[in-house]
């Protein structure tokens, strides 16, 4: 959550047992405060309107919310009423919202986006499992805590319905509302799944799938237009598209959505049911315990037979083991009858110094030897070869051509003529496996930090091919490689494709029409710097941004300075110096200014009646109606000014 702001006038100082110390934010539903109890911080949300007759229902819903699994949610801990207005207390999550983080740092990609999808789908499944419909799932209600994403503001459906009726506010945020919320149809968990899909679109593209402009066009697009999925790709794109189906019946449930994200349907059934058939779980070589003392571990019943792992003491496993011991002691066949007709079997004691596990190991070794013999010894006629004795214990599935062994060869006697075979050498094929030709592999070079052209050259020199190039928002230099797939150092077949992620720079935000301070904040939030600020005298509100350089939408490297042209409300004062008094006065009046004149005596007769100076200089910006003083030239007088005394004579007066 953002840093708490001071409480405003009229904000409560306390709600129930919780002392409020600041504001965390405010939305259409209510204000969120930072509260504390016994030194522990909590987030306390006070709704704008009362719930009327729904108090009991609201409290029951809060009780349900308390039982929502808390590993991906902000746990609800308490609720109450303040002068009829409900408040709900939940765990305080110290982290920004997904909306704020995407706005400041850009869309999510790759593993970060997939982790966000799985975490939020898990939270949604836990909320639905508790019998709650969130109804306002959106990026602002996903907080990015230090231990992962947390979903907040669930458990308010009853209160929001009642408060919306009283205050006239809608329930839900338009850009993330499901069609059934707009048409006032029945709202179920499918609406939350729709909102989840819209939230994932925002996380991947920094914009909602149906736009974020005025309410009416957004709602119309939700009901009629296909979603804009943007840079979502692969399996996640398919899932999000299914979640944004306009018919709630066609959307997956939150549980199905989570399983699809985890890829449960792709896990082979045999992995979930039992270990692979070729693995033997051998018990320690200790004297066999009685059946009643055995631990409940699975042990093999028949090596190589699917589903052959049974718990000790079960009827099938126990009888099979005992039958095998009894039959082999009597020289009979294997329990499944596969040993009948193959001669007597060597006796194997079922009890004593040879535990059943050791017998199973011996049987497995004999089976392995038989497989090796099959690969290297041609098949002989039944009449010419003696048969291999079979060991007691687990039976081996019969083969179409049983393995036969040759009689022992006396090294002192010459080799005899090769045995007759049932197939020709051509039919049997070569006796040795052909050499395996492995394709040449090369390591993927380290490409991060290079520009695209240099990375392309390095890929070619490594014997690889350039694959897809994806441009991502990044403060890095435009064209700089951010990453590659496969990862650097990985060995791949020569000629494989290497995909690149390349910086597309940052787009200059559209700040025209904003006040200067807001425009500067927007540029800083976008990772850019504020450049020179030029004022232009126009008939626009003072301080309003008129244009930027570079222009809005142009992509630049992070930290680039953006110059602003800012309005200065008023009109430009025209230059009238040198003009005649009449012409200058007319020009100023036409520009919307009042005129004051003042004469000044000049010696040069050519400057008489000419404007010598003006109070507001040319190019200055002044409000219309402002007075501009102009100084014009006056001719000198030829005689004394009227009223001036004549010069007193210097000689003596007659009276003297």
Q: SS3 string of 282-326?
A: CCCCCCCCCHHHCCCCCEECCCCCCCCEECCCCHHHHHHHHHHHH
Other CB atoms within a 10 A radius of the CB of residue 595 amount to: 18
Is residue 603 over pLDDT 70? yes
With a pLDDT cut of 70, the percent of the chain lying above it is 67
623: helix, strand or coil: coil
Asked if the peptide bond before residue 486 counts as cis, ω within 30 degrees of 0, the response is yes
Task: Decide which of 515, 546, 569 is a domain's last residue.
Answer: 569
Using alpha carbons only, give the angle 146, 148, 151 rounded to the nearest 5 degrees. 115
Q: Is residue 431 in some structural domain?
A: no
Tell me, yes or no, whether 94 and 205 share the same domain.
Answer: yes
User: Are 498 and 459 contacting, i.e. CB atoms less than 8 angstroms apart?
Assistant: yes
**Predicted local distance difference test score (pLDDT) of residue 147:** 86
Is residue 405 over pLDDT 60? no
CATH of the domain at 515: 3.30.10.20
Helix (H), strand (E) at residue 368: helix 356-376
Is residue 451 over pLDDT 70? yes
pLDDT digits (tens, 9 = 90+) for 329-367: 334 434 344 444 444 444 444 444 445 545 555 555 565
Q: Is residue 492 in some structural domain?
A: yes
Tell me, yes or no, whether 498 and 533 share the same domain.
Answer: no
Tell me, yes or no, whether 196 and 255 share the same domain.
Answer: yes
Q: How confident is the model at residue 455 (pLDDT cuts 50, 70, 90)?
A: very high
pLDDT digits (tens, 9 = 90+) for 517-563: 899 988 988 889 999 998 888 888 888 999 999 999 999 999 999 99
C-alpha–C-alpha distance, residues 47 and 539, integer Å: 43
Task: Decide which of 452, 483, 504 is a domain's last residue.
Answer: 504
Which two tokens mark 409?
């060869």
Q: Is 226 exposed, middle or buried (0-12, 13-18, 19+ CB in 10 A)?
A: exposed
Nearest to 192 by CA among 173, 218, 206, 211: 173
Tell me, yes or no, whether 120 and 197 share the same domain.
Answer: yes
Q: Total structural domains in the chain?
A: 4
**Predicted local distance difference test score (pLDDT) of residue 230:** 92
Is residue 650 over pLDDT 70? no
Q: Is 541 exposed, middle or buried (0-12, 13-18, 19+ CB in 10 A)?
A: exposed
The answer to whether 136 is a known catalytic residue is yes
Q: Is residue 319 in some structural domain?
A: no
Tell me, yes or no, whether 486 and 523 share the same domain.
Answer: no
C-alpha–C-alpha distance, residues 641 and 330, integer Å: 158
Is residue 581 over pLDDT 60? yes
Is residue 408 over pLDDT 70? no
Q: Is residue 3 in some structural domain?
A: no
Which two tokens mark 423?
């197939």
Helix (H), strand (E) at residue 461: helix 452-461
Tell me, yes or no, whether 480 and 552 share the same domain.
Answer: no
Q: Is 463 exposed, middle or buried (0-12, 13-18, 19+ CB in 10 A)?
A: middle
pLDDT digits (tens, 9 = 90+) for 196-248: 999 999 999 999 999 988 888 999 999 999 999 999 999 999 999 999 999 99
**Predicted local distance difference test score (pLDDT) of residue 68:** 83
List of E strands, 38-174: 40-47, 76-82, 85-91, 142-145, 148-151
- Say what the alpha-carbon torsion angle 282, 286, 290, 293 is, to the nearest 10 degrees: -80
Residue tagged active-site, from 11, 78, 94, 136: 136
- Say what the alpha-carbon torsion angle 280, 282, 288, 292 is, to the nearest 10 degrees: -70
Is residue 374 over pLDDT 60? no
pLDDT digits (tens, 9 = 90+) for 40-53: 999 999 988 777 67
Is residue 412 over pLDDT 50? no
Q: Is residue 274 in some structural domain?
A: no
Tell me, yes or no, whether 495 and 512 share the same domain.
Answer: no
Choice between 209 and 62, residue whose per-residue pLDDT is larger: 209
- Find which of 23-27, 266-270, 323-327 is predicted with most confidence, using mean pLDDT: 23-27
Is residue 125 over pLDDT 90? yes
Choice between 298 and 217, residue whose per-residue pLDDT is larger: 217
Q: Is 14 exposed, middle or buried (0-12, 13-18, 19+ CB in 10 A)?
A: exposed
Mean pLDDT (the chain, rounded): 75
Tell me, yes or no, whether 498 and 529 share the same domain.
Answer: no
Q: Read off the pLDDT of each residue in 583-606 and give the average, rounded to a whole number.
A: 88
Choice between 529 and 388, residue whose per-residue pLDDT is larger: 529
Range of the domain at 470: 441-504
Tell me, yes or no, whether 236 and 178 share the same domain.
Answer: yes
Task: Decide which of 231, 266, 301 is a domain's last residue.
Answer: 266
**Predicted local distance difference test score (pLDDT) of residue 301:** 34
CATH of the domain at 40: 1.10.510.10
pLDDT digits (tens, 9 = 90+) for 93-104: 988 999 999 988
- Find which of 216-220, 378-382, 617-621 is predicted with most confidence, using mean pLDDT: 216-220
Q: Read off the pLDDT of each residue in 384-409 and give the average, rounded to a whole number.
A: 43
Tell me, yes or no, whether 590 and 627 share the same domain.
Answer: yes
C-alpha–C-alpha distance, residues 166 and 186, integer Å: 20
Q: Is residue 214 in some structural domain?
A: yes
User: Would you say the pTM of this structure is higher than 0.85?
Assistant: no
**Predicted local distance difference test score (pLDDT) of residue 635:** 85
Only one residue has tokens 């049974």, namely 310
**Predicted local distance difference test score (pLDDT) of residue 256:** 93
Which two tokens mark 524?
């800083």
Tell me, yes or no, whether 467 and 560 share the same domain.
Answer: no
Out of 170-184, 287-301, 600-614, pick the least confident. 287-301
Query: For the residues of 219-267, what is the DSSP string, one character each?
Result: HHHHHHSPP--TT--HHHHHHHHHHT-SSGGGSPPHHHHHHHHHTGGGS
Q: Is residue 134 in some structural domain?
A: yes
Is residue 376 over pLDDT 70? no
Is residue 279 over pLDDT 80? no
Is residue 139 over pLDDT 90? yes
Q: Is residue 412 in some structural domain?
A: no
Tell me, yes or no, whether 171 and 258 share the same domain.
Answer: yes
């Amino acid at each position: 959550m953002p840093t708490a702001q001071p409480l405003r006038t009229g904000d409560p100082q306390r709600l129930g047992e919780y002392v409020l110390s600041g504001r965390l934010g405010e939305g259409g539903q209510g204000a969120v405060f930072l509260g504390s109890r016994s030194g522990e911080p909590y987030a306390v949300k006070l709704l704008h309107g009362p719930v009327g007759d729904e108090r009991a229902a609201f409290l029951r819903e809060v009780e349900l919310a308390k039982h929502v699994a808390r590993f991906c949610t902000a746990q609800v801990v308490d609720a109450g009423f303040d002068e009829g207005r409900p408040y709900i207390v939940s765990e305080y999550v110290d982290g920004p919202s997904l909306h704020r983080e995407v706005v400041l740092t850009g869309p999510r990609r790759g593993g970060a986006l997939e982790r966000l999808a799985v975490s939020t789908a898990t939270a949604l499944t836990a909320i639905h499992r508790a019998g709650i419909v969130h109804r306002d799932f959106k990026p602002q209600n996903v907080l990015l805590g230090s231990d992962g994403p947390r979903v907040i503001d669930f458990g308010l459906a009853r209160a929001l319905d009642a408060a919306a009726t009283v205050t006239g506010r809608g329930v839900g945020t338009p850009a993330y509302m499901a069609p059934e919320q707009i048409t006032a149809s029945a709202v179920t968990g499918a609406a939350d799944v729709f909102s989840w899909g819209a939230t994932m679109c925002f996380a991947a593209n920094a914009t909602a799938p149906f736009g974020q402009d005025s309410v009416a066009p957004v709602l119309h697009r939700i009901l009629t237009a296909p979603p804009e999925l943007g840079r979502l790709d692969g399996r996640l794109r398919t899932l999000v598209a299914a979640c944004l189906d306009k018919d709630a019946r066609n959307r997956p449930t939150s549980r199905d959505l989570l399983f699809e994200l985890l890829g449960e349907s792709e896990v082979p059934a045999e992995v979930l049911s039992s270990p692979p058939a070729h693995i033997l779980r051998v018990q320690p070589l200790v004297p066999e315990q009685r059946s009643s003392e055995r631990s409940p571990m699975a042990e093999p019943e028949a090596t190589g037979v699917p589903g052959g792992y049974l718990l000790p003491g079960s009827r099938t496993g126990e009888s099979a083991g005992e039958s095998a011991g009894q039959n082999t002691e009597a020289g009979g066949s294997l329990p499944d009858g596969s040993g009948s007709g193959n001669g007597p079997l060597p006796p194997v004691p079922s009890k004593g110094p040879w535990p059943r596990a050791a017998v199973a190991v011996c049987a497995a070794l004999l089976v392995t030897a038989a497989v090796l013999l099959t690969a290297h010894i041609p098949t002989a006629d039944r009449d010419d070869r003696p048969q291999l004795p079979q060991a007691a214990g687990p039976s081996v599935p019969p083969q179409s051509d049983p393995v036969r062994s040759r009689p022992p060869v006396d090294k002192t006697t010459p080799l005899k003529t090769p045995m007759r075979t049932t197939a020709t050498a051509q039919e049997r094929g070569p006796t040795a496996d052909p050499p395996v030709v492995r394709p040449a592999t090369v390591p993927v070079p380290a490409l991060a930090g290079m520009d695209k052209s240099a990375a392309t050259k390095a890929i070619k020199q490594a014997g690889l091919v350039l694959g897809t190039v994806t441009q991502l928002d990044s403060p890095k230099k435009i064209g700089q490689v951010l990453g590659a797939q496969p990862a650097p150092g990985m060995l791949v077949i020569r000629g494989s494709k290497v995909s690149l992620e390349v910086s597309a720079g940052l787009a200059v935000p559209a700040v025209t029409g904003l006040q200067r301070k807001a425009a500067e904040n927007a540029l800083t939030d976008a990772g850019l710097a504020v450049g020179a600020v030029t004022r232009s005298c126009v008939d626009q509100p003072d301080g309003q941004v008129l244009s930027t350089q570079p222009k809005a939408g142009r992509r630049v490297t992070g930290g680039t300075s953006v110059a602003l042209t800012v309005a200065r409300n008023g009109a430009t004062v025209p230059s009238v110096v040198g003009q005649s008094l009449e012409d200058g006065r007319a020009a100023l009046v036409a520009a919307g200014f009042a005129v004051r004149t003042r004469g000044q005596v000049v010696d040069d007769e050519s400057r008489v009646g000419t404007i010598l100076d003006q109070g507001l200089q040319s190019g200055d910006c002044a409000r219309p109606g402002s007075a501009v003083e102009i100084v014009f030239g006056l001719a000198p007088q030829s005689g004394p000014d009227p009223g001036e005394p004549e010069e007193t004579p210097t000689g003596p007066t007659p009276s003297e």
